[in-house]
């Protein structure tokens, strides 16, 4: 039985900052951000959006009368959790008006958590083929104003439904994992911004990619040339480019050109949003499927998921007949097209206006937010 991604939804808030302007404000050459980091725009997250509301806004776009009754499990991957105990998946189930007998769980493993959800969902559907699983990844990537990580911030959410006979991508049974206890990126409980050993994290990412790709090839007798495209977790789009370039000498020149061309298609949307943490790989997959012009049903796509700390997984999916029809590409392109640019000063003010960790009562700027789901604030330590 084929199991995999039946639908893909996306959400990012309506504000962005231009990376050339941010570079100038930071006394950097704009090409460092545009080419060296590979980002053109960065999503600016208002204080009226958090991981839960962004997840709800993404998931809402792929729920309909046709699949609501089939969903019996929500898996919500995030590393921007809003509570140390209560699961964000419960808020999601409520906001999306899904029935009370839907099992709902939040997962954490840095940027890897949405992939963990998808793989768990795949096994759930194999055991219950008439059911579907809603898997969502939502995050706010924050490193701090003037930090080296600042040009790699961003935020938003991706949502997928996992089902039997999927319309978009059937996920192969085999995959390769590599897990090691390393300190490349982490966020202590007291902190709203991540701590990171940037260069080390980028080196570890490539090491995990090469290890898991090799393991996958050995387990499955797969040749690189069997894969029409490789998509990557994209903390910044140059990261995926570096990983791809590290293995291009293992294939023919024409295949290397095909992989490079498809990589460019796979980073179009990520260039405009920045890091979504858990959702980044799936935004890149979405970008590939919408923007590549030489993919066909039956083509195999390799996916590399990486979550700091760290866990990497390489797996493969097969494109399904009419996959393009199942993508809500117009919705996503309108969302990106209709965004509003803010100046660097406005971005800094929005960055600094986040709800304080210890706020008791707080009202956000929700009146400026036109999203369907938003955070109005907090009353008596309960989010509204």
Tell me which residues in 53-92 interact with ligand HMG (CB under 6 A): 79
Q: Is 242 annotated as a binding residue?
A: yes
Buried b (16+ CB within 10 A) or exposed e, 90-118: bbbbebbebeeebebebbbbbbbbbbbbb
40 binds ligand HMG (CB under 6 A): no
Q: Interface with ligand HMG includes 154 (CB under 6 A)?
A: no
Does 219 bind ligand HMG (CB under 6 A)? Our answer is: no
State how far the Cα of 206 lies from the Cα of 178, in Å rounded to an integer: 12
Catalytic site residue from 106, 111, 150, 172? 111
Pairing assessment for the beta strands 3-11 and 169-179 based on DSSP bridges: antiparallel
Kindly compute the dihedral angle of the four CA atoms of residues 64, 137, 353, 95, in this order, to the nearest 10 degrees: 30
Tokens at residue 231, please?
Answer: 């998509």
Contact between 150 and 348 (Cβ < 8 Å): no
**143 labelled binding-site residue:** yes
CB closer to ligand HMG, 195 vs 329 = 195
Q: How many CA atoms lie within 13 A of 126 on its CB side?
A: 14
Q: Is 111 a catalytic residue?
A: yes
Does 275 belong to an annotated binding site?
yes
Q: Please tell me whether residue 178 binds ligand HMG under the rule CB under 6 A.
A: no
Is 79 one of the annotated active-site residues of the chain? yes
3-state SS class at 166: coil
Q: Which is nearer to ligand HMG, 264 or 363 (CB)?
A: 264
Q: Which residue is nearest to ligand HMG (CB)?
A: 36
Please answer whether residues 79 and 139 qualify as being in contact, where contact means their C-beta atoms are separated by less than 8 angstroms. yes
> From the list 51, 54, 89, 110, which residue makes contact with ligand HMG (rule: CB under 6 A)?
110
Q: In whole angstroms, what is the distance from residue 135 CA to residue 276 CA?
A: 15
CA 143 to CA 187: how far, in whole Å? 10
Residues in region 260-279 near ligand HMG by CB under 6 A: 275, 277
**Residues 352-381: x where in contact with ligand HMG by CB under 6 A, - otherwise, as a string:** ------------------------------
Of 150, 233, 311, 313, which residue is the catalytic one?
Answer: 233
Asked if 331 is an active-site residue, the reply is: no
Binding-site residue ranges: 29, 143, 242, 275
Binding site for ligand HMG (CB under 6 A): 29, 31-32, 35-37, 79, 110-111, 148-149, 151-152, 184-185, 196, 198-199, 201-202, 205, 233, 235-236, 239, 275, 277, 306-308
Would you please indicate which residues are annotated as catalytic (active-site) residues? 79, 111, 233
């Amino acid at each position: 039985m084929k199991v995999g991604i039946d639908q893909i939804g996306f959400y990012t808030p309506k504000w962005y900052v231009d990376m050339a302007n941010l570079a100038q404000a930071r006394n950097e050459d704009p090409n460092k951000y545009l080419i060296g980091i590979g980002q053109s725009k960065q999503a600016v997250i208002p204080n009226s959006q958090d991981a839960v509301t962004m997840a709800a806004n993404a998931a809402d776009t792929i729920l309909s009368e046709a699949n609501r009754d089939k969903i019996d499990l929500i898996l919500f991957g995030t590393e921007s959790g809003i509570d140390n105990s209560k699961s964000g998946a419960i808020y999601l189930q409520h906001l999306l008006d899904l029935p009370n007998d839907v099992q709902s769980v939040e997962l954490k493993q840095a940027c890897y958590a949405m992939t963990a959800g998808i793989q768990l969902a795949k096994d759930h559907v194999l055991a219950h083929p008439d059911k579907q699983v809603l898997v969502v990844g939502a995050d706010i990537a924050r490193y701090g104003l003037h930090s080296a990580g600042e040009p790699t911030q961003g935020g938003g959410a991706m949502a997928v439904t996992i089902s039997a006979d999927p319309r978009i991508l059937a996920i192969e049974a085999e995959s390769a994992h590599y897990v090691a206890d390393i300190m490349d990126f982490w966020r202590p409980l007291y902190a709203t911004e991540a701590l990171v050993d940037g260069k080390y994290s980028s080196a570890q990412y490539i090491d995990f990619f090469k290890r898991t790709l090799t393991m996958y090839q050995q387990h499955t007798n797969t040749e690189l040339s069997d894969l029409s495209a490789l998509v990557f977790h994209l903390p910044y789009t140059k990261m995926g480019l570096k990983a791809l370039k590290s293995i291009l000498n293992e294939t023919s020149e024409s295949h290397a050109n095909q992989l490079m061309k498809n990589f460019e298609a796979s980073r179009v949307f990520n260039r405009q949003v920045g890091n979504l943490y858990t959702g980044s790989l799936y935004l890149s997959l979405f970008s590939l499927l919408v923007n590549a012009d030489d993919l066909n049903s039956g083509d195999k796509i390799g996916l590399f998921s990486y979550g700091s700390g760290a866990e990497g997984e390489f797996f493969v999916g097969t494109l399904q007949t009419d996959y393009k029809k199942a993508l809500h590409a117009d919705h996503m392109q309108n969302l990106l097209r209709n965004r509003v640019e803010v100046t660097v000063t406005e971005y800094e003010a929005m960055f600094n206006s986040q709800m304080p960790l210890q706020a008791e009562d707080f009202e956000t700027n929700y009146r400026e937010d036109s999203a369907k789901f938003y955070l109005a604030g907090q009353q008596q330590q309960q989010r509204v």
